[in-house]
Structure 1
Amino acid sequence: MSEDWRSETIDTVRSLIMAAEPAVVEEAKWVKPSNPAGVPTFSCDGLICTAETYQDKVKLTFARGASLDDPSSLFNASLGAGTRRAIDLREGDLLDEAAFVELVREAVARNRS
């Protein structure tokens, strides 16, 4: 992926996830010719979320997002899905970093329970 707002967003999200839980493991999954770098996935005692880039957004999909409290209403996509929830970030969007860190911590706690 070229260096643009999407890669900067992924770098920011990566830093926040690692700050929330240093034991998180990042892996690239679903590597294919159309996506040679794969999809960054973040796990800690189970999958936390994936970070996919699209032409117009970065999509952060939480594997068990439907079971997480989201008092700051970060989730704005996949709201009708039975298990997952997502945060779509478009160019210029500001992520509530403190709320995101808490969401990651809650996801880790859910994985550990």
Structure 2
Amino acid sequence: MQFGEKPVYLCCGCTDMRKSINGLMTLVQHSFSLDPFVDALFVFCNRSRDRLKILEWDGDGFWLYFKRLERGHFRWPSSDEETTMTLNSEELSCLIDGARLEKKLRRSEVLEHNIS
């Protein structure tokens, strides 16, 4: 997925995925202390790290992107480290594709075989 060269603000820790655009806008204002109407992406993840939402203002309305993994999970920073992080679009793509890459890189365990 390509998002261009917009700044990306990641909400560390978990977010209630029942929140819609208005709820996420409130989080952006209070947690990030930012204006949700800026030209940026705001990224949120749920507790089990298998769902991700991205909020984006495009000038005349909000986009809400949603991804649900069927297997695996996103590598996500905890809120103990920071409340928010800033990424670039390439780092966001790596984060989103990371679960797919992790699954692809997993190998079956090689068990020891006795040679007779």
Question: Which bin holds the TM-score, normalised by the shorter protein?
Answer: under 0.3
Give the structure-2-normalised TM-score: 0.26
More helix by share: 1
Higher relative contact order (CA closer than 8 Å, sequence separation 6+): 2
TM-score by length of 1: 0.26
Larger Rg: 2
